Structure 1
């Protein structure tokens, strides 16, 4: 059994954090042989990982002044656990994983994990730009740089990341967890106060300009100008209509058509109440929520960013990013389809995830990678 140390930027609710939890909960490593180090606190995902019997060590690096104590804490973990392999997650996690590999006894294997595309480094914060450049310099010194999308690998290697150490392992989804369920659908629609003849369009994502919430709301308002048998359900941290990034987009008279649920860990349950899923991001690598929605049997309207085109295939509608009018047209096209046609697209989407993006396949690929590197 390979002793794994995972170093992740944080454990708040997010796609990368949930990806790590799902891999661990699906048997990536034995609970006594895995440690997870969070550069921040335990967040909302930390308790879930702890519930698996896996050690979670929050370093609580809230400022540069905390760094010396955090390194001492990391050293204690390395000396007591003596990992065979150290897996970084995201840019900051990769950087500290490199430090851990240098400090650890026994020369453990080192793996980076890149979870986003790199459309334009100028769009990143100055400190993040520095960390990305450090990742670039270190990329030739690691065993493998794992990317969760083909486009992410292409963009990072074009930026100067090692071309000989890259490998793509797409996100995986448990189709036994994300699946249509009539009981959960009834409960979710009751929670959304959705009438029987209303079609619910869902959107999931933390509030960040890159997720395109403003475009989605503008598209939703355009949709409501043509039909009123629609309800929009939004889930995500800080996603509320009075937030400065969203304030004023929805006219007061249309507010009754929107439900804002905030940050939720039971996203799969709420997806059961949806009829259509929308992903409106300006940039992505491999959007987790898109795979979750497809596994749940939902037809999707998505922006053609990252690997979304290869994920959706022919099972949904793709539109250009940052174009609310195109997004509205895509949603109206999906709404105008018959119920049976939407259900058929949803079944095809679910079958595509089961065939191409299963969680069991992702776990097997990580296991094979770790075994290869440690040997």
Structure 2
């Protein structure tokens, strides 16, 4: 079975890379979710700080823009282009890459990559392994049976005490959840996600362009959602809240980015059918979300579970106040800049939206400023990168 290697050719190493330590990251995809975004953000910052970076992903070709971004920073990328983490070809190829690259640290991203990457690193003779947790629960893949997932959870729990030197959780709540599951508390470290505040920032030009493209008036109130149409996101709750909003505010609009109406369940389509569809806008997945958030007045998540959602950081960095369900670390992220509501409560979600939208122009601007300032002070990518590099040094220097 063929393995594509060095898809990204490094013409010359980054300045200061001679003799630098090397981190190899193993992840399923280059894009599509919060963990993937965080990985790319960190990798580019690590390179600028003199650490050599290697990324191994199961799939690379379907993420050309993300690959190009890594290439521009001089990152080595190996694309396995295989389906199935537990296939022999995957294990053999990944182990071979690790033996060839000889990294100082292997950083894995999310449960399946944690287990597979950790095992392969052990066989490759790389003892310094850092796992990465980015959700509160072990998420199943399509087609996985309950028995298969139960076995996988037990394998994760057992290996968590033997394979990784450290286990990073982006969420404090998720860290506690995994300790309860059986993960070793003494190996775990909370490092919150960080955001590139230069890329995600208030942008009046993007705000006007996006609204014009969607056919939304300049002065309309707009509430938006960005994410996969996955069961965990509870899009139906968002739509029920949107129904209330559109009834209460005749000039309001809602935007859902990440899917199309055909992706909705039957019940969700029924809720959609009751609304004025001229004020409901579906936007396919975007690789430039920094251009989308400024067009909103409120960003919202209706999820039943989250760890430390990157979309909330992105929206807040653009100065957009957020209303989410009270899950994961959302309340810690938002602070006093927005609101959290109980899971599954569409009425409370809509009420929180209406409360923010009813504020005066002066109050709205003050809230926008406060929202962005919170990201700059607490959740910058620079702060997160520093924490990761300190951890890697600690791991490398440990016996």
Match of residue 7, structure 1, among 10, 26, 29: 26
Report which stretch shifted further, 281-290 or 34-43. 34-43
Equivalent residue for 1:220?
242
In the TM superposition, what are the counterparts of 1:137-286 in structure 2 within 5 Å?
137-141=158-162, 142-236=164-258, 238-240=259-261, 243-244=264-265, 246-251=268-273, 254-286=276-308
Equivalent residue for 2:79?
58
Cα distance, 1:209 vs structure 2: 1.1
CA contact (8 A) 1:91 1:131 kept: no
Cα distance, 1:135 vs structure 2: 1.9
Match of residue 75, structure 1, among 77, 95, 98: 95
Match of residue 109, structure 2, among 68, 79, 89: 89
Match of residue 111, structure 1, among 130, 142, 160: 130
- TM-score, normalisation: structure 2: 0.87
Q: Tell me how far apart the structure 2 counterparts of residues 293 and 164 of structure 1 sit (CA, whole Å).
A: 34
What is the DSSP-based 3-state SS (H/G/I as helix, E as strand, rest coil) of the residue aligned with 2:336?
coil
- TM-score, normalisation: structure 1: 0.92
Task: Tell me how large the CA RMSD over aligned residues is.
Answer: 2.3
CA contact (8 A) 1:38 1:59 kept: yes
Q: Gapped runs of 5+ residues in structure 2?
A: 1-19
Report which stretch shifted further, 2-11 or 217-226. 2-11
Equivalent residue for 2:11?
none
CA contact (8 A) 2:214 2:281 kept: yes
What is the DSSP-based 3-state SS (H/G/I as helix, E as strand, rest coil) of the residue aligned with 1:370?
helix
Is the counterpart of residue 371 in structure 1 residue 393 in structure 2?
A: yes
Equivalent residue for 1:17?
36
Cα distance, 1:242 vs structure 2: 5.9
Is the counterpart of residue 298 in structure 1 residue 320 in structure 2?
A: yes
Q: Tell me how far apart the structure 1 counterparts of residues 332 and 264 of structure 2 sit (CA, whole Å).
A: 33
CA contact (8 A) 1:4 1:29 kept: no
1:252-297 deviation digits (Å, cap 9, x = unpaired) = 6510001111110111101111111111111000011111111110
Report which stretch shifted further, 309-318 or 178-187. 178-187
What is the DSSP-based 3-state SS (H/G/I as helix, E as strand, rest coil) of the residue aligned with 2:300?
strand
